[in-house]
Amino acid sequence: MNEARRRLLLRAGGLLALTLALPSCAEKQEPFQGTDITGVDWGRDFRLGDHTGRPRTLADFRGKAVLLFFGYTHCPDACPTTLAKMARAVELLGEDGARVQGLFVTLDPARDTAAVLGQYVPAFHPDFLGLRGSEAEVARTAGDFKLFFARQAPDASGFYTVDHQAAVLAFDPQGRLRLYFRGKTAAQVIAHDLRILLQ
């Protein structure tokens, strides 16, 4: 084989390799910034009532990405901060924010009645829902989602706090648990990852 023919074949081979590589580059998805937990065998569903009294499961929100957070309304810091951050992430999505459902599961159903949740949760975002159940139902749901919480002993006035993780879980529009956001995750990071889930 002469030199000119060898160079031509090498060049053609290089172009073919580049052509084959282009689709895989175009299909490569931007990585999540939160913790990707796709495929875990826990946190598959819940069955709780919302603050309007309607029974809810994940199937009710099919077609939307879901942000799920466990807390309680008497929480002095992490809960209001996290709910505000969830609302900000939805706001950052613009029109796509309508395709995200924020859910707040109370870990303190004794004090967090439907009426209390109905005032508290929508104050952060009008479309967010508060969820509650019996003590046993809440404990079971938290356990299903690997969430630790512990009610502390009440003080002399009867006031008590609930220790809990300040994590947000995200589901894709097909209802699959996909992401774990730690308490200090910024709203911009949550919004970034929601955009990927909504694609």
Q: What pLDDT score was predicted for residue 138?
A: 97
Q: What pLDDT score was predicted for residue 2?
A: 52
**Has residue 10 got a pLDDT over 50?**
no
Work out whether the CA dihedral 108, 42, 102, 30 comes out positive or negative: positive
Q: What is the mean pLDDT of the chain?
A: 89
Q: Is 25 annotated as a binding residue?
A: no
Residues 53-79: tens digit of each pLDDT = 999 999 999 999 999 999 999 999 999
Q: Is 125 annotated as a binding residue?
A: no
> Does residue 177 sit in helix, strand or coil?
strand
Residues 151 and 75: their CA atoms lie apart, in Å, by: 12
More confident residue, 5 or 175: 175
Q: What pLDDT score was predicted for residue 159?
A: 96
Residue position matching structure tokens 């969820």: 131
**Structure-block tokens of residue 74:** 């008497």
Residues 26 and 142: their CA atoms lie apart, in Å, by: 39
Q: What pLDDT score was predicted for residue 29?
A: 65
**Structure-block tokens of residue 27:** 């299909």
Q: Are 106 and 72 in contact (CB under 8 A)?
A: yes
**Structure-block tokens of residue 143:** 């356990």
Q: What pLDDT score was predicted for residue 12?
A: 42
Reported pTM: 0.84
Residues 79-108: tens digit of each pLDDT = 999 999 999 999 999 999 999 999 999 999
